Amino acid sequence: MTNVDSVERMRRRYLNSPLVVDIDYIALLTEFHKQGLGLPPVLLRGTSFGQAIGNLTPVIRDDEPFAGSQTKHVRGAIPFTNYASSYVLRELDDGLQERY
Protein backbone atom coordinates (compact mmCIF):
# COMPACT_ATOMS: atom_id res chain seq x y z
CA MET A 1 0.00 0.00 0.00
CA THR A 2 1.39 3.37 -0.97
CA ASN A 3 1.15 6.71 0.83
CA VAL A 4 -1.24 7.89 -1.88
CA ASP A 5 -3.58 4.96 -1.10
CA SER A 6 -3.40 5.72 2.61
CA VAL A 7 -4.16 9.41 2.12
CA GLU A 8 -7.06 8.60 -0.22
CA ARG A 9 -8.51 6.15 2.32
CA MET A 10 -8.27 8.78 5.10
CA ARG A 11 -9.85 11.36 2.80
CA ARG A 12 -12.80 9.06 2.00
CA ARG A 13 -13.26 8.15 5.67
CA TYR A 14 -13.26 11.85 6.59
CA LEU A 15 -15.70 12.89 3.87
CA ASN A 16 -18.04 9.96 4.58
CA SER A 17 -18.16 10.66 8.32
CA PRO A 18 -20.78 12.93 9.87
CA LEU A 19 -19.73 16.38 11.01
CA VAL A 20 -19.95 16.39 14.81
CA VAL A 21 -19.45 19.19 17.32
CA ASP A 22 -17.53 17.65 20.21
CA ILE A 23 -18.44 19.34 23.50
CA ASP A 24 -15.89 17.54 25.71
CA TYR A 25 -13.54 20.54 25.68
CA ILE A 26 -16.34 22.99 26.57
CA ALA A 27 -17.53 20.73 29.40
CA LEU A 28 -13.98 20.52 30.84
CA LEU A 29 -13.43 24.26 30.40
CA THR A 30 -16.66 25.01 32.26
CA GLU A 31 -15.79 22.57 35.05
CA PHE A 32 -12.35 24.08 35.66
CA HIS A 33 -13.67 27.61 35.25
CA LYS A 34 -16.11 27.02 38.13
CA GLN A 35 -13.30 25.69 40.34
CA GLY A 36 -11.16 28.77 39.79
CA LEU A 37 -13.67 31.38 40.89
CA GLY A 38 -11.89 34.17 42.71
CA LEU A 39 -8.86 34.18 40.42
CA PRO A 40 -8.22 37.32 38.38
CA PRO A 41 -9.95 36.98 34.98
CA VAL A 42 -6.73 36.60 32.99
CA LEU A 43 -5.45 33.82 35.26
CA LEU A 44 -8.85 32.14 35.39
CA ARG A 45 -9.05 31.90 31.61
CA GLY A 46 -5.47 30.70 31.22
CA THR A 47 -5.70 28.12 34.00
CA SER A 48 -9.07 26.84 32.80
CA PHE A 49 -7.78 26.52 29.23
CA GLY A 50 -4.66 24.65 30.34
CA GLN A 51 -6.63 22.25 32.52
CA ALA A 52 -9.27 21.61 29.86
CA ILE A 53 -6.91 21.05 26.94
CA GLY A 54 -4.63 18.95 29.16
CA ASN A 55 -7.48 16.64 30.13
CA LEU A 56 -8.70 15.86 26.62
CA THR A 57 -7.86 12.34 25.54
CA PRO A 58 -5.89 12.38 22.29
CA VAL A 59 -7.12 9.95 19.66
CA ILE A 60 -4.74 8.03 17.43
CA ARG A 61 -6.59 6.11 14.76
CA ASP A 62 -5.30 2.96 13.08
CA ASP A 63 -3.45 3.45 9.84
CA GLU A 64 -3.03 7.22 10.22
CA PRO A 65 0.42 8.79 10.12
CA PHE A 66 -0.63 11.71 12.31
CA ALA A 67 0.11 11.97 16.01
CA GLY A 68 -3.50 12.27 17.12
CA SER A 69 -6.60 14.38 17.26
CA GLN A 70 -8.26 16.48 19.94
CA THR A 71 -11.68 15.03 19.18
CA LYS A 72 -12.82 11.43 19.25
CA HIS A 73 -14.83 11.92 16.06
CA VAL A 74 -13.32 11.42 12.60
CA ARG A 75 -14.86 14.68 11.43
CA GLY A 76 -15.23 16.45 14.75
CA ALA A 77 -14.98 20.09 15.63
CA ILE A 78 -14.24 21.63 19.00
CA PRO A 79 -15.99 24.95 19.59
CA PHE A 80 -13.31 27.16 21.10
CA THR A 81 -15.83 29.66 22.44
CA ASN A 82 -13.23 31.17 24.76
CA TYR A 83 -11.49 32.76 21.78
CA ALA A 84 -14.01 35.57 21.45
CA SER A 85 -11.91 38.70 21.25
CA SER A 86 -14.06 41.35 22.88
CA TYR A 87 -12.85 40.63 26.42
CA VAL A 88 -9.22 40.65 25.27
CA LEU A 89 -9.61 44.04 23.63
CA ARG A 90 -11.39 45.39 26.71
CA GLU A 91 -8.60 44.19 29.00
CA LEU A 92 -5.93 45.64 26.78
CA ASP A 93 -7.74 48.97 26.84
CA ASP A 94 -8.05 48.83 30.63
CA GLY A 95 -4.42 47.82 31.12
CA LEU A 96 -5.42 44.75 33.12
CA GLN A 97 -2.69 42.61 31.57
CA GLU A 98 -0.08 44.66 33.45
CA ARG A 99 -1.61 43.91 36.86
CA TYR A 100 -1.02 40.15 36.74
44-91 pLDDT per residue, tens: 888 888 888 889 888 887 777 766 677 888 888 887 766 666 665 676
Q: How far apart are CA 71 and CA 12, in angstroms?
A: 18
Residue 83: predicted pLDDT: 64
| 100 close to 42: Cβ distance less than 8 angstroms | yes
Residue 16: predicted pLDDT: 95
pLDDT digits (tens, 9 = 90+) for 4-43: 888 888 889 889 999 998 888 888 888 888 887 788 888 8
pTM of the model: 0.62
